[in-house]
A and B are shown apart, each in its own frame.
Chain A
Amino acid sequence: MTATVEHSNGTAAPAAFGYVAGSAPADATAGERVITYSEAVREAMGQAMAADDRVVLLGEDVGVYGGAFGVSGDLHGRFGGERVRDTPISELGIVGAGVGMALSGLLPIVEIQFSDFTCQAMDQIVNQAAKIHFMLGGAAHVPLVLRAPGGSGTGAAGQHSQSLEAWFAHTPGLKVVMPSNAADAKGLLLSAIDDPDPVVVLEHKLLYKTSGPVPVEPVRVPIGKAAVPRRGTDLTMVATGVMVSRCLEAAARLEADGVSASVVDVRTLTPFDAETVLGAIDETGRALLVQEAPRHVGFMSEVAARIAESESLYRLLAPVKRLCGLDTPIPYAPQLERSVVPQVDDVVAAARALAVVG
């Protein structure tokens, strides 16, 4: 493949961030060890709770049960029921309680069992948490962390599989992060707990059991900074959430065919790191934007618009391509479910097609 743009980094580098494509564990370097994504989330919460009494976790079945996906695990045993607090099935009530706690000197983490159930709590997320700092003229702020697993692939069908990130990213006042690997799951959550504003952390159900090297220390991953886990020369894949590992796997396969792809992990949707994302697109002149969520008015529509509004437009060698979930609810049957969201094969095919356009 040839491209006429300048490449700052001419060779496709291996995943610099220790990303794990698929489930093959990567080697851990000093100060790291390989743990799962869900262990990484738990470790962030545990370290934060051990360090600061103000950090509390509340949610449905986060206590002895250990969380619907096992994420809170032993935290209840370690910190007790006051700080790892089981709640009734009252999403609006508990997110609202989180807002009130955040306004009153605590640093609450509210776990919503499935991100789909944020619908119940939308008033508190959108009308309250996101706007209080602004509406009160800056007199108060809401250091609330909302953790919620999203995404399809578990056979849970239409009401337990959505990718709703664009809703939150569309709401001024919310910060939105989507960790795609274990290290970021820990580092972004630690940053979210530090953050004086409400942060929506959208974890992915399929990633919980994946593993990767994670620093032992509470190392923050900054909110507002994208990652470029792989640099190539022919095209740039921009992805969120579980699509990052699919893109990395696709990029590895493409390399064997002589197609060299960069992969950008958006990581934080708000604030959006346009510099890194557009910079990586400029390097190849071809943009493949990959998300699990439906295409129509999705987050990648925003990325496409940013490209179109910037100098990056002039550097494109081919039209921008979005590879997204279909504009349908997520179906139950595994073969149907797979058919509506991009799989590795789809990424490979789309990348091949894009690499020869123009």
Chain B
Amino acid sequence: MTELAEAPAASDAGAADPRWAREALLTMYRIRRFEEAVDDLFARGMMHGTMHLSIGQEASATGVCAALAEGDLIASTHRGHGHCIAKGADLLPMMAELLAKDSGYCRGRGGSMHIADVAKGNLGANGIVGGGIPIAVGSALAQKLRGTGAVVVCFFGDGATNEGAFHEAANLAAIWQLPVVLVCENNKYGMSFSTEKSMHVATVAERAAAYGFPGVRVDGNDVEAVFAAATEAVARARSGGGPTLLETMTYRWKGHSKSDKNLYRTREEIEQWRADDPIADFEAKILDAGSLSVEDLEAVRTQARDEVRDAVRRSMQAPDADPRAFLADPAAAVFAAPLGSHVAGAPAVEPHGLGTALDATEESK
């Protein structure tokens, strides 16, 4: 994690750059098609549990993660499929997790609210509103102490900024000037409760002033604008300039979760936001810029559709998470060093412990 790839420069990026445009569009389509497939599987009774879809919010996850370098980290939320995909996770183990397969990212133990590709720098989605914010800040402190140069991005919703966790973590990030970007995806509601009713300031971004770091509001449905703002925030974090609160204004098209009857918002409001489709908007910009052709766009759509179809088909065929294997040794799933494994001596798994000096003295006793 010491070697960080160069973060892309904002100037090279955008609709006019065919490579960047194609990548960003593909990521947004992957998220959209993945979540549409999830929605469909759920409707057909083939998927269990509940889920929180981010359809309509794809530009936020995509623009932010595009501003990150390899080795940078994210912490995500209950509405985390998009963050996970944008940070480079594979669709197959994601879908396998949702379909309760052993080959899922969490081996069927986490489900939608805990999917993460840890190896790609995702510290985890979170079922607890605001739960990931202190964790991201702690990770940023670790990056600073270890001198890795990595930046940590923490995603959370507008509702989460009313949790104590947000305020405590924001303050820690500020006093320690940590390399963290706090990304609030403001989709106007925390479940049914609107941001206007839940806070007495006009924007989430201005809450940053209370902690002494910049707060920036940006059109969260404009992937280029998100990317530009995130790039600046990431550069500030990486150069030792401390945290930024980035508020990306967006909207979720679907209900909060599977139980939502949309009683708190109007059909007109939903239609109005659907007209501001982050994907269609970006496609129009790409065509305007002439960086990709209509055929290129079609190829991107086909690729995303095929990848998702393939992930569904292959995970359907994968073996289910097996309760027998699980029950044979539940402690092995719960602990990295399961119960009793210390009794014989050193921890069985990954001795995190003190380095050679202590081991040597341990032997000499």
Contacts and interface: CB of A to CB of B under 8 A. Distances in A.
A224 B340 contact: yes
Interface string A96-127: 11111111111110000000000000011001
B168 A90 contact: yes
Given A104-B142, A123-B131, A92 B339 contact: no
Interface string A136-161: 11111101000000000000000000
Contact of A106 (B1, B131, B146, B152): B146
Given A135-B109, A138-B336, A143 B352 contact: yes
B209 interface: no
Contacts of B361: 217-218
B334 A96 contact: no
B118 interface: yes
B138 interface: yes
Contacts of B255: none
Interface in B335-365: 335-337, 339-343, 345-347, 349-358, 361-362, 364-365
Interface in B4-30: none
Contacts of A31: 365
Interface centre among A92, A124, A140 (most CB of B within 10 A): A92
Q: What DSSP secondary structure best describes chain A's contact surface?
A: mixed
Interface stretch (B169-177, B215-223, B225-233): B169-177
B210 to A, nearest CB: 13
B137 A195 contact: no
Contact of B105 (A139, A191, A195): A139
A52 interface: yes
A210 to B, nearest CB: 24
Interface stretch (B48-56, B121-129, B191-199, B291-299): B121-129
Contacts of B270: none
Contacts, number: 215
Nearest to A126: B128
Given A87-B172, A224-B342, A100 B106 contact: no
Given A100-B138, A124-B131, A137-B104, A82 B145 contact: yes
A219 interface: yes
Interface stretch (A43-51, A200-208, A248-256, A306-314): A43-51
Contact of B347 (A82, A103, A123, A195): A195
Contact of A219 (B1, B126, B362): B362
B362 A217 contact: yes
Contacts of B133: 96
Nearest to A97: B138
Contact of A95 (B106, B134, B136): B134
Nearest to A276: B343
B77 interface: no
Interface in B129-171: 131, 133-143, 145-146, 152, 164-165, 168-169, 171
Interface in A17-52: 31, 47-48, 50-52
Interface string A248-276: 00000000000000000000001101000
A108 B107 CA distance: 28
B286 interface: no
A222 B340 CA distance: 9
A224 B339 contact: yes
A58 to B, nearest CB: 9
A128 interface: yes
B140 A100 contact: yes
A56 interface: yes
B352 A107 contact: yes
Nearest to A48: B354
Name the interface size band of chain B.
Answer: 35 or more
Interface in A175-197: 175, 190-191, 193-197
**Chain A, interface residues (CB within 8 Å), range:** 35 or more
Interface string B289-317: 00000000000000000000000000000
Nearest to B127: A127
User: Counting chain B CB atoms within 10 Å of each CB, which of A135, A172, A195, A218 scores highest?
Assistant: A135
B134 A124 contact: yes
A197 B134 contact: no
Given A56-B145, A104-B138, A195 B342 contact: yes
Contact of A128 (B131, B143, B340, B346): B131
A93 B340 contact: no
Contact of B143 (A90, A104, A225, A273): A104
A55 B142 CA distance: 11
A62 interface: no
A136 B358 contact: no
B336 A100 contact: no
A137 B107 contact: yes
A88 to B, nearest CB: 6
B73 interface: yes
A52 B333 CA distance: 28
Given A104-B142, A134-B109, A270-B339, A127 B128 contact: yes
Contacts of B364: 217
B140 to A, nearest CB: 7
A47 B362 CA distance: 12
Contacts of A103: 123, 135, 138-139, 142
Contact of A92 (B73, B139, B146, B168): B168
Contacts of A83: 145
A270 to B, nearest CB: 7
A104 B135 CA distance: 10
B110 interface: yes
A142 to B, nearest CB: 8
B114 interface: yes
B279 interface: no
A175 B334 CA distance: 11
Residue among B106, B135, B345, B361 with most chain A CB within 10 A: B135
Interface of A: 31, 47-48, 50-52, 55-56, 82-83, 87-88, 90, 92-108, 123-124, 127-128, 132-141, 143, 172-173, 175, 190-191, 193-197, 215, 217-220, 222-225, 270-271, 273
15 contacts: A94-B134, A96-B131, A100-B75, A100-B136, A102-B138, A123-B131, A128-B135, A133-B334, A135-B114, A136-B110, A143-B352, A173-B335, A196-B350, A217-B362, A224-B339
In the A-B complex, the 5 residue pairs with the smallest Cβ-Cβ separation, listed nearest first, are A96-B134, A100-B138, A93-B168, A194-B353, A97-B138
